[in-house]
Homo-oligomer: A and B are copies of this chain.
Amino acid sequence: MLLCGGFMMERMKRVSIKDIALAVGVSTATVSLVLTGKNKNGRVSKEMSEKIKKVAHEMNYQPNRLAMSLQSGRSQTIGLLVADISNPFFGTLAFYVQEEMEKAGYAVIIMNTDESDVQMERMISLLRSRQVDGFIIVPTEFGEKSIAQLVDNRIPLVLIDRYYPSLQVNGVLIDNYQAAYEATRYLIDTHCERVALLIYENSQPHMIERERGYTNALKDAGLYDEELIKRVRYKYMDEDIIGAITWLAQKRKDMDGILFATNTIAMTGIKQLLNLGFRIGEDVHVVCFDKSDAFDFMPVFIPYIHQPIANMGRLASQLLIKQIEDVELGEELIHKLTARLVKK
C-alpha cells in the first residue's frame, strides 16, 4: 500500500496521524495511543494495535515533533551559546554537549555571542520564543542581567567555562585559581625568577581567578612584581599582545617566564617571542591554558593546563537534563573540575 506513488515530484504533504486513522478506520486518539506506546493496560486490542503500526510504517509516517512540542510544552531542544564556534575550544565543547544531549533525545541549537552582551540577550530571547527547554551558556562579561532573568524565571540553565558569583545557578568550570597557581609554581620550579602574565583586561571571575593564582604563587615565593602583569583587550588582541611582549622584552630584560592566561593569547604571544628571537625553553619558559595542535610543531615541548573539555560538556549536559526533568540536583551549584598541568 504505497499512497504516494505519483507525487514524487511535488514537495509532499507529510502523512499525519489523521491519515492513518482514516486509512485504518479508527480515531486519531487510538492511533496516537498506539504509536506513542501508551497502550499499557490493553486499552487497544492486540490486532488493532498491530494493524495501526503496520499501516503507519507503510505510509512512512513520521510524527511532527513541532505539534508534539506545542502540546507537551517541551521542545526537546536546548540552546547552546558559545563565544565563537570556530574556536576549537568551543567547537570541542559543542561536540560533547551535542553528543550527550542527543543521547537523551535533545537537539542542540548552537549560537555565537561573539562575546557581545547584546548578542547574548538577543539570542536568549530568540531561543526562548522557540521554546527551548533550557540553556547551556558561556556567559559574556557584562551579560549578568540577561542571565539573572533566566534564573528568576526558573528556566533550566547551566553556565559553562565562566560564571557570575552573585547568581544562584549551576556552573561547570575548572578550578582556575588552582590551575594558575600550579602553572606559575611550575615556572618557579623551573628556576624562573621574573614570571610575567599575559591576560585579558576583563573582569570575569575566571580571569580574576587565574590572575589570583598567578599572583599568590609568586607572592608565596617572594617573586611578585606588579609590572610583569600585562593586560590585553579582546578586540585588539593581536596588537596588544605584540606590544606587551615587545615591552617585556625591552624594559624587562630579566623576564624569564610567561604564563599565558588563554590559548589564544599564547598563540600570538609565542609567535611574537619567536619573532623577537627568544628561544622558548631556554631564554624564556612559558606555560599556557589548553593544548593547541600547533605545539606539536615547536622544537620544544610547551607545558599547558589541560582543561577536561569532554567532562565539562558532559557534566553541563547532565545537570541541564536533571533541571529540565526536575530531578533532585544536590547542594552543589558550581562544579569545579580539576585541570591538570601537562609537562610532558
Q: Does A111 contact B (CB under 8 A)?
A: yes
| Interface pick from A9-17, A35-43, A169-177 | A9-17
> How often does this chain occur in the complex, in copies?
2
Q: Does A165 contact B (CB under 8 A)?
A: no
| Interface pick from A184-192, A198-206, A292-300 | A292-300
| Across-interface contacts of A67 in B (CB, < 8 A) | 70
Q: What is the bound-complex CA distance between A126 and B90, given in angstroms?
A: 24
Chain B nearest Cβ from A293, distance in angstroms: 5
Q: What is the bound-complex CA distance between A99 and B123, given in angstroms?
A: 12
| Interface pick from A152-160, A217-225, A248-256 | A152-160
Chain A: interface residue total (CB-CB under 8 A): 57
Q: What is the bound-complex CA distance between A67 and B153, given in angstroms?
A: 21
Q: What is the bound-complex CA distance between A129 and B292, given in angstroms?
A: 38
* Contact in complex: B293, A130 (CB < 8 Å): no
* Most chain B beta-carbon neighbours within 10 Å: one of A85, A88, A126: A85
- Assuming the contacts A109-B108, A110-B94, asked whether A129 and B86 have C-beta atoms less than 8 A apart, the reply is no
User: Of B12, B70, B112, B298, which is within 8 A of A66 by CB?
Assistant: B70
Q: What is the bound-complex CA distance between A92 and B87, given in angstroms?
A: 8
In the complex, which residues 39-64 of chain A have their Cβ closer than 8 Å to any Cβ of chain B? 62-64
Write the chain B residue with the least CB distance to A264: B293
Q: Does A333 contact B (CB under 8 A)?
A: no
* Contact in complex: A98, B70 (CB < 8 Å): no
Q: Does A75 contact B (CB under 8 A)?
A: yes
Q: Does A27 contact B (CB under 8 A)?
A: no
Q: Does A65 contact B (CB under 8 A)?
A: yes
Q: Does A267 contact B (CB under 8 A)?
A: yes
Q: Does A274 contact B (CB under 8 A)?
A: yes
